[in-house]
């Protein structure tokens, strides 16, 4: 039945499931695919916000003594650019893929807790709006995305700018934590029969590592933020130097979170690229086991190197040495991954789709960012580079060249699966080249302006220090990126409404998510599949590609054979009801729980803008509403 | 071709509703363990901050030492402080009251025992011998919640007396880190009490029995024991070690 000549299965049009359109259905959805889509749309909207902020920053810096914005506004813009891109764009873009892909890749019908999943999204949306709105009223956070205390205490940052930042990040932390608990449970528990850990697709593996990092790293910043919140609102003294506080307390707690955060931002992309490269090289991923273990190793080491962000504070030679060596060690598993991607492509039957171009660009650009990272892992070198544009160049190569380019590749790769429609490859090529050229034009010169001593986070600079040309080039690069972004937006919006002509397996890929129609029916799999290898679909359609892979014991294979026709040919476009698959009820309750929780955090602002009474009444009221919403949610049946 | 890799699974046949899980355990239990992992990091951050700030306060009251309201004099006894020149009226006691807190610690430890018995009551619901009131889940759930509430009572008393002795969350680094740490823990106990009372309400209404309800109580028990263990760490590190 499954020979290399097996015809591509004929998929019927995706099911027009009932009650799946209209605003109300989106507000009440608990379907992981639709929540993934909500994450995607929202984070792309925030990408425009963060991009606009960056554009204004670069306009200001295009020439010496720029007059586009004032120093105060500049501070708000660079703070919000970092905060937005990290917490509202890259993390939720990853979350969009976690949501959409993990259940499909492991052969599950949904995540472990569908309603908690909806809650995570709504908390993210409301939290994102909460932290972004002040930008339009000139009261946006203005102390950097790292919010160093004591700079952020009332004494040095009066007003409500920082209040929004502190509370907004707390809110977003709740969203990430709830999602992480959900995905850990999903990956441990919801895998289809035969989907052992050693057969999980690499994206799911890397996401799995990321969820553990989220669960273990976020508490440190949560507590640091609570201290700051208490200092600002209740008069505690955690960051009060006059009372004997340690000026490094914040930095330690923040970077214990902050460094793992770097890997939280980039590991999902490692996963996506590990799905794209095998598909378009028509070869299994090279060194699967090593890829898994290097990912886990990165996760572990990522918790032990935070103080490389603090070499300049003078921790002493011993601490500097330990953290410097630890940081360089992380280069090893990361380098292994780079070689594995190259080896995956090596000798493969390469197809240069837009997704593949983004993936290849990711490998190259991330490598540049990685190499400059190893440079300032050395404390003496770091002392020269710290707080200069060299660092800005480094982390943009990692986060733009790495995360964003990889995620864009993921979007081009998975758009057909998400929507049943293709993104235009022609426009995609424009998008790719604009991004690729633009980002190199912008960030490569920053290595030089940084080495020449240009400090970051400063709103302007004087002429004649050798920085002028480099800055102008950087700004020109942003124009290219902006064009690329608009081409992408046009492509995305146009294709969203375009012709539904994507088959279930448009790229001839090997993993489970491609074995079902595009877009998948609400229940994903009409019947849970039995999995016997890492590339189940290739086993059927392209056995020559997986001939050298180990397959499962004969028993499972026999079971699989006894059941006959492969799943993909059998998947019918019937409703869940017709198939007798119980689906969770749509519900608005997670949205309200999220709303009340965000309002509870927001009430604290009244302490600084209104009176104690107003704040207390508002907090008690929203707490009661929140508890009520949670009770009502927990006591209503799931399905 | 022997490796037909995707085939229909016998685990979820048509029309029959079985929720397949890879390990056979229930989702919520894994979720609770994950959450506990995260909570460990929360309390680790709080406790480390307390320990880092230990002895860094510029003014009293102090946790284990005698102090002076008008100067920076610190001593092991009231006499030592007075001998160093502090007027008798200005002497400040050490705030931590180990005998009282030992009592509340004992109550919280016993509540864990009650929790175990409550779970046993649900597991053995309807079995011979378990129909007596003192073997049933209602009694032990109520006892657990009551002891949790008693612990909160002790904490309220403790906080109030500290405030009377001049230690608030704003006084010094000790006050800030102490009240924040123990307040976080107290909030966790309060959430636990609310949870236990909810379970008790369900038990009164329809009786807790069967595998689903065992799981429900089991997860609450997991949380409760965790909160208890955290308190043992806090009591040892903050109260006992000087
Ligand atoms: Cu780092």
- What is chain A's mean pLDDT, rounded? 90
Joined tokens for residue A174:
């709740």
Q: Provide CB contacts within 8 A for B21, sequence distance 6+.
A: A189, A190, B27
Check if B24 contacts A (Cβ < 8 Å): no
B59 → chain A, closest CA residue: A243
Domain boundaries, chain A: 29-510, 512-579, 588-639
Joined tokens for residue A81:
């650019």
Task: Give B31 to chain A, closest Cα distance, Å.
Answer: 6
Q: Report whether A589 contacts A28 (CB < 8 A).
A: no
Per-residue pLDDT at A460: 94
A249 → chain B, closest CA residue: B49
Over residues A43-47, the mean pLDDT reads: 96
Over residues B188-192, the mean pLDDT reads: 96
CA trace torsion A471, A472, A473, A477 (10° rounding)? 100
Per-residue pLDDT at A12: 35
Angle ∠(A475,A476,A478) on CA atoms, nearest 5: 65
Q: Which of B3, B46, B60, B222 to mutate to test the interface with A (most CBs of A within 10 A)?
A: B3
Tell me: pLDDT of B16 over 50. Answer: no
B47 → chain A, closest CA residue: A223
Q: Is residue A549 very low, low, confident or very high in pLDDT (cuts 50, 70, 90)?
A: confident
Over residues B40-60, the mean pLDDT reads: 93
Per-residue pLDDT at A566: 44
Task: Find the A146 Cα to ligand 1 centroid distance in Å.
Answer: 12
Residue B40 CB coordination number (10 Å)? 17
Joined tokens for residue B218:
């089991």
Give the whole-number percent of chain B exceeding pLDDT 90. Answer: 58
Give the whole-number percent of chain A exceeding pLDDT 70. Answer: 93
Residue of A394, A391, A396, A363 lying closest to A481 (CA atoms): A396
Task: Find the A90 Cα to ligand 1 centroid distance in Å.
Answer: 17
Distance, CA of A204 to CA of A98 (rounded, Å): 8
B49 → chain A, closest CA residue: A249
Joined tokens for residue A187:
């990956």
| Weakest mean pLDDT among A164-168, A391-395, A533-537, B8-12 | B8-12
Higher pLDDT, B234 or B68: B234
Distance, CA of A249 to CA of A224 (rounded, Å): 8
What does the pLDDT look like over A448-494, one tens digit per residue? 999 999 999 999 999 999 999 999 999 999 999 999 999 999 999 99
Helices A249-281 and A405-419, packing angle to 10 deg: 60
- Which helix H or strand E contains A71, and what residues bound it? helix A71-83
Per-residue pLDDT at B20: 63
Residue-range domains of chain B with CATH: 27-53+96-240 (1.20.120.80), 59-94 (no CATH)
Distance, CA of A359 to CA of A253 (rounded, Å): 34
Per-residue pLDDT at A146: 93
* Residue A12, burial from CB neighbour count under 10 angstroms (0-12, 13-18, 19+): exposed
Task: Give B129 to chain A, closest Cα distance, Å.
Answer: 31
Contact between A230 and B25 using a beta-carbon 8 Å cutoff: no
* Residue A28, burial from CB neighbour count under 10 angstroms (0-12, 13-18, 19+): middle
Per-residue pLDDT at A539: 82
Per-residue pLDDT at B14: 34
Task: Find the A58 Cα to ligand 1 centroid distance in Å.
Answer: 25
Euclidean distance between the first and final Cα of chain A, in Å? Answer: 37
Distance, CA of A509 to CA of A542 (rounded, Å): 9
Contact between B8 and A530 using a beta-carbon 8 Å cutoff: yes
Tell me: pLDDT of A594 over 80. Answer: yes
* Chain B, window 58-117: residues with a beta carbon less than 8 angstroms from a chain A beta carbon: 58
Per-residue pLDDT at B242: 81
Q: Is residue B111 very low, low, confident or very high in pLDDT (cuts 50, 70, 90)?
A: very high
Distance, CA of A517 to CA of A504 (rounded, Å): 4
Residue of B237, B161, B184 lying closest to A226 (CA atoms): B184
Q: Provide CB contacts within 8 A for B35, sequence distance 6+.
A: A181
Which residues in chain A have Cβ-Cβ distances shorter than 8 Å to B9?
192-193, 527-530, 563
Q: Provide CB contacts within 8 A for B142, sequence distance 6+.
A: B200
CA trace torsion B147, B149, B153, B154 (10° rounding)? 40
Name the H helices within chain B: 27-53, 78-83, 98-123, 137-164, 173-206, 210-234
Over residues B142-163, the mean pLDDT reads: 96
Q: Name residue, tokens 């400040």.
A: B92
Q: Report whether A86 contacts A43 (CB < 8 A).
A: no
Closest partner CB to A237 (pick from B38, B42, B173): B173
Task: Give B128 to chain A, closest Cα distance, Å.
Answer: 31
Per-residue pLDDT at A545: 85
Contact between A237 and B3 using a beta-carbon 8 Å cutoff: no
Q: Provide CB contacts within 8 A for B216, sequence distance 6+.
A: B199, B202, B208
Distance, CA of A147 to CA of A79 (rounded, Å): 9
B216 → chain A, closest CA residue: A634
Q: Which of A177, A219, A255 to mutate to test the interface with B (most CBs of B within 10 A)?
A: A219
Tell me: pLDDT of B199 over 60. Answer: yes
The three-class DSSP label of residue A453 is coil
Contact between A216 and B30 using a beta-carbon 8 Å cutoff: no
Which residues in chain B have Cβ-Cβ distances shorter than 8 Å to A217?
41
- Which helix H or strand E contains A167, and what residues bound it? helix A161-189
pTM: 0.92
Catalytic residue set of A: 81, 110, 145, 175-176, 259, 261, 263, 274, 308-309, 334, 337, 456
Per-residue pLDDT at A544: 83
Contact between B38 and A246 using a beta-carbon 8 Å cutoff: no
Tell me: pLDDT of A421 over 90. Answer: yes
Contact between A220 and B45 using a beta-carbon 8 Å cutoff: yes
Per-residue pLDDT at A495: 94
Tell me: pLDDT of A10 over 50. Answer: no
Q: Which of B4, B41, B48 to mutate to test the interface with A (most CBs of A within 10 A)?
A: B4
Q: Is residue A551 very low, low, confident or very high in pLDDT (cuts 50, 70, 90)?
A: low
| Weakest mean pLDDT among A110-119, A520-529, B111-120 | A520-529
CATH of domain A29-510: 1.20.210.10
- Which helix H or strand E contains A125, and what residues bound it? helix A114-132
Over residues A371-380, the mean pLDDT reads: 92
Per-residue pLDDT at A610: 83
Q: Which of A117, A179, A243 to mutate to test the interface with B (most CBs of B within 10 A)?
A: A243
Closest partner CB to B180 (pick from A230, A562, A582): A230
Joined tokens for residue A485:
């972004």
Angle ∠(A524,A22,A28) on CA atoms, nearest 5: 65
What does the pLDDT look like over B170-187, one tens digit per residue? 999 999 999 999 999 999
| Weakest mean pLDDT among A401-410, A421-430, A495-504 | A495-504
Contact between B4 and A235 using a beta-carbon 8 Å cutoff: no
The three-class DSSP label of residue B75 is strand
Check if B25 contacts A (Cβ < 8 Å): yes
Per-residue pLDDT at B85: 84
Task: Find the A125 Cα to ligand 1 centroid distance in Å.
Answer: 27
β-bridge partners, A388: A455
Residue of B123, B81, B126, B99 lying closest to B213 (CA atoms): B123
Joined tokens for residue B88:
């008798």
Q: Is residue A144 very low, low, confident or very high in pLDDT (cuts 50, 70, 90)?
A: very high
Task: Find the A444 Cα to ligand 1 centroid distance in Å.
Answer: 20
Identify which of A538-547, A624-633, B1-10 has the greatest average pLDDT: A624-633
Over residues A136-163, the mean pLDDT reads: 92
Distance, CA of A269 to CA of A277 (rounded, Å): 12
β-bridge partners, B75: B66
Closest partner CB to A529 (pick from B7, B46, B56): B7
For chain A, helix, strand, coil in percent to 5 are 70, 0, 30
| Weakest mean pLDDT among A248-262, A573-587, B86-100 | A573-587
Angle ∠(B38,B44,B46) on CA atoms, nearest 5: 110
CA B110 to chain centre: 12
Q: Is residue A126 very low, low, confident or very high in pLDDT (cuts 50, 70, 90)?
A: very high
Task: Find the A260 Cα to ligand 1 centroid distance in Å.
Answer: 7
Tell me: pLDDT of B24 over 80. Answer: no
Tell me: pLDDT of A607 over 50. Answer: yes
Task: Find the A188 Cα to ligand 1 centroid distance in Å.
Answer: 29
Q: Report whether B195 contacts B220 (CB < 8 A).
A: yes
Q: Is residue A6 very low, low, confident or very high in pLDDT (cuts 50, 70, 90)?
A: very low
The three-class DSSP label of residue B7 is strand
Q: Report whether A107 contacts A43 (CB < 8 A).
A: no
Tell me: pLDDT of A208 over 90. Answer: yes
Per-residue pLDDT at A574: 66
Q: Is residue A609 very low, low, confident or very high in pLDDT (cuts 50, 70, 90)?
A: confident
Per-residue pLDDT at A573: 58
B50 → chain A, closest CA residue: A238
Task: Find the A258 Cα to ligand 1 centroid distance in Å.
Answer: 7
């Amino acid at each position: 039945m499954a020979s290399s000549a097996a015809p591509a299965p004929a998929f019927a049009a995706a099911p027009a499931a009932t009650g799946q359109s209209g605003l109300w259905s989106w507000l009440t959805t608990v379907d992981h695919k639709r929540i993934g889509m909500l994450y995607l749309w929202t984070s792309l909207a925030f990408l425009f916000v963060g991009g606009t902020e960056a554009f204004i920053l670069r306009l200001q810096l295009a020439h010496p003594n720029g007059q586009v914005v004032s120093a105060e506004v500049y501070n708000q813009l660079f703070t919000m650019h970092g905060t937005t891109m990290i917490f509202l764009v890259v993390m939720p873009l990853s979350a969009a893929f976690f949501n959409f892909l993990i259940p499909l890749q492991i052969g599950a019908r949904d995540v472990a807790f569908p309603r908690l999943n909806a809650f995570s999204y709504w908390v993210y949306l409301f939290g994102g709006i909460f932290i972004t709105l002040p930008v339009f009223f000139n009261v946006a956070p203005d102390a950097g995305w790292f919010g160093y205390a004591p700079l952020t205490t009332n004494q040095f940052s009066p007003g409500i700018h920082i209040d929004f930042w502190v509370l907004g990040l707390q809110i977003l932390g709740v969203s990430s934590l709830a999602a992480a608990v959900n995905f850990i449970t999903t990956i441990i528990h919801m895998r289809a029969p035969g989907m052992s850990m050693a057969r999980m697709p690499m994206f799911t593996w890397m996401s799995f590592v990321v969820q553990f990092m989220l669960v273990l790293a976020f508490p440190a910043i949560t507590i640091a933020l609570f201290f700051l919140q208490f200092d600002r609102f209740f008069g505690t003294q955690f960051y009060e130097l006059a009372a004997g506080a340690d000026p490094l307390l914040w930095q330690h707690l923040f970077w214990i979170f902050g460094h793992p955060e770097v890997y939280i931002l980039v590991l999902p992309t490692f996963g996506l690229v590990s799905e794209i490269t095998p598909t378009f090289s028509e070869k299994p991923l090279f060194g699967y086991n090593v890829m898994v273990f290097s990912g886990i190793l990165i996760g572990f080491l990522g918790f032990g190197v935070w103080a490389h962000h603090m070499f300049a504070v003078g921790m002493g030679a011993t601490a500097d040495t330990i953290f410097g060596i630890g940081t360089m060690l992380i280069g090893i598993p990361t380098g292994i991954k780079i070689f594995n991607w190259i080896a995956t492509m090596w000798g493969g039957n390469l197809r240069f789709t837009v997704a593949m171009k983004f993936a290849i660009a990711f490998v190259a650009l991330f490598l540049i960012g990685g190499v400059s990272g190893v440079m300032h892992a050395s404390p003496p070198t770091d002392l020269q580079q710290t707080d200069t544009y060299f660092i800005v160049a480094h982390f943009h190569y990692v986060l733009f060249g790495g995360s964003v380019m990889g995620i864009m590749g993921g979007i081009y790769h998975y758009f057909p699966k998400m929507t049943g429609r293709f993104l235009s490859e022609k426009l995609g090529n424009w998008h790719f080249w604009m991004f690729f050229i633009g980002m190199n034009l912008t960030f490569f010169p920053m290595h030089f302006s940084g080495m020449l001593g240009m400090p970051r986070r400063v709103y302007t600079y004087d002429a004649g220090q050798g920085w002028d040309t480099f800055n102008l080039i950087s700004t020109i690069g942003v124009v290219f990126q902006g064009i690329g972004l608009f081409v992408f937006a046009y492509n995305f919006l146009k294709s969203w409404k375009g012709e539904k002509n994507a088959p279930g397996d448009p790229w001839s890929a090997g993993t489970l998510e491609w074995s079902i129609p595009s877009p998948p029916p609400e229940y994903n799999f009409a019947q849970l599949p039995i999995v016997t290898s890492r590339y189940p679909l290739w086993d059927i359609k392209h056995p020559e590609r997986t001939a050298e892979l180990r397959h499962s014991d004969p028993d499972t294979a026999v079971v699989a054979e006894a059941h006959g026709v492969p799943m993909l040919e059998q998947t019918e476009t019937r409703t869940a009801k017709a198939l007798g698959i119980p689906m969770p009820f749509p519900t608005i309750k997670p949205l309200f729980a999220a709303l009340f929780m965000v309002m509870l955090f927001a009430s604290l602002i009244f302490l600084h803008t209104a009176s104690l009474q107003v704040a207390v009444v508002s907090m008690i009221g929203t707490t009661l509403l929140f508890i009520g919403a949670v009770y009502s949610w927990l006591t209503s049946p799931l399905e | 071709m022997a490796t037909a890799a995707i085939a229909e699974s016998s685990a979820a046949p048509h029309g029959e509703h079985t929720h397949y899980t890879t390990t056979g355990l229930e989702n919520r239990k894994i979720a609770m363990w994950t959450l506990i992992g995260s909570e460990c990091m929360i309390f680790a951050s709080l406790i480390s901050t307390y320990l880092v700030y230990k002895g860094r306060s510029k003014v009293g009251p102090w946790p284990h030492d005698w102090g002076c309201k008008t100067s920076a004099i610190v001593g092991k006894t009231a006499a030592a402080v007075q001998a160093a020149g502090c007027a008798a009226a200005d002497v400040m006691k050490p705030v931590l009251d180990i005998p009282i807190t030992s009592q509340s610690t004992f109550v919280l430890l016993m509540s864990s025992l009650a929790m175990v018995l409550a779970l046993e009551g649900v597991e053995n619901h309807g079995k011979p011998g378990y129909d007596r009131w003192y073997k049933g889940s209602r009694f032990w759930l109520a006892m657990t919640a009551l002891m949790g509430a008693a612990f909160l009572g002790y904490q309220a008393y403790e906080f109030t007396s500290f405030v009377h002795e001049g230690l608030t969350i704003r006084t010094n680094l000790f006050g800030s880190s102490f009240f924040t740490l123990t307040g976080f823990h107290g909030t966790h106990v309060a959430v636990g009490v609310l949870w236990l009372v909810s379970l008790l309400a369900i038990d009164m209404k329809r009786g807790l029995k069967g595998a689903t309800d065992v799981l429900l109580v089991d997860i609450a028990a997991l949380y409760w024991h965790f909160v208890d263990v955290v308190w043992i760490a806090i009591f040892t590190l903050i109260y006992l070690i000087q």
